[in-house]
Amino acid sequence: MKNTVRITGGLVVAIIVGAITSGALARGGFRAAAQPADQTQALQTEVNSFMDQYWQLFSAGNIDQLVERIYHPSGQLSNQGHSSIEQLKARFPETRKTLLAGGYGRSNMPVRNICILSPTVAVVSGRGVRYLTDGKVMAEFGWTYTLIKGPAGWKMVSIYSHDPGKVLTCGA
């Protein structure tokens, strides 16, 4: 049976933040204009590559590159609320230490739904997997991310953990 998930709460805030930052509201609000399929495919490919880069940098423990290449300069929204870049950097070493103590090897989202809401706003949702150093599964999560695209490319503005059975899917 397929779960239907309504986008509510923090995710709506993250999408609105992304829309404001991208200028969508400044240009007259949300318009239901369809994007050409080739443009949507190209944007999905960009977002897919961006997310692969994110998991590579996170798995390697490279917080400086995460800050420079992945995280939005304003910080990030999550299940715990908003965190500034300084807060993300301060918490990362302890988070990484805890993961490594448990045998952590890497993270990934093997199957992901990439929803292009506009040329500058995307949502990525799916079953995330943390693997042990021996390749066995350490843990599985539902992860949903909101991204915005600006002059510096795609940036992550939110990450939410949730039941892996409640991932978001894109409408037609």
pLDDT, one tens digit for every residue, the chain (172 residues) = 444 344 444 444 444 344 434 443 333 344 445 677 789 999 999 999 999 999 999 999 999 999 999 999 999 999 999 999 999 999 999 999 999 999 999 999 999 999 999 999 999 999 999 999 999 999 999 999 999 999 999 999 999 999 999 999 998 6
pLDDT score of 33: 55
- Has domain 38-162 been given CATH number 3.10.450.50? yes
Write out the H or E segment, with its range, that includes residue 31: none
- For position 108, what pLDDT does the model report? 96
Prediction pTM value: 0.79
Of 87, 41, 45, 40, residue with least CA distance to 63 = 87
Q: Where are any strands of DSSP class E within the chain?
A: 76-78, 81-83, 104-118, 121-132, 137-150, 153-162
Which of 107, 113, 98 is closest to 135 using CA atoms? Answer: 107
What is d(CA 134, CA 104) in angstroms, rounded to the nearest whole number? 9
What is the rounded CA–CA span in Å between residue 32 and residue 54?
30
pLDDT of residue 127: 96
Q: Kindly tell me the sign of the dihedral angle through the C-alpha atoms of 80, 158, 70, 61.
A: positive
Angle at 78 between CA 57 and CA 41, to 5 degrees: 60
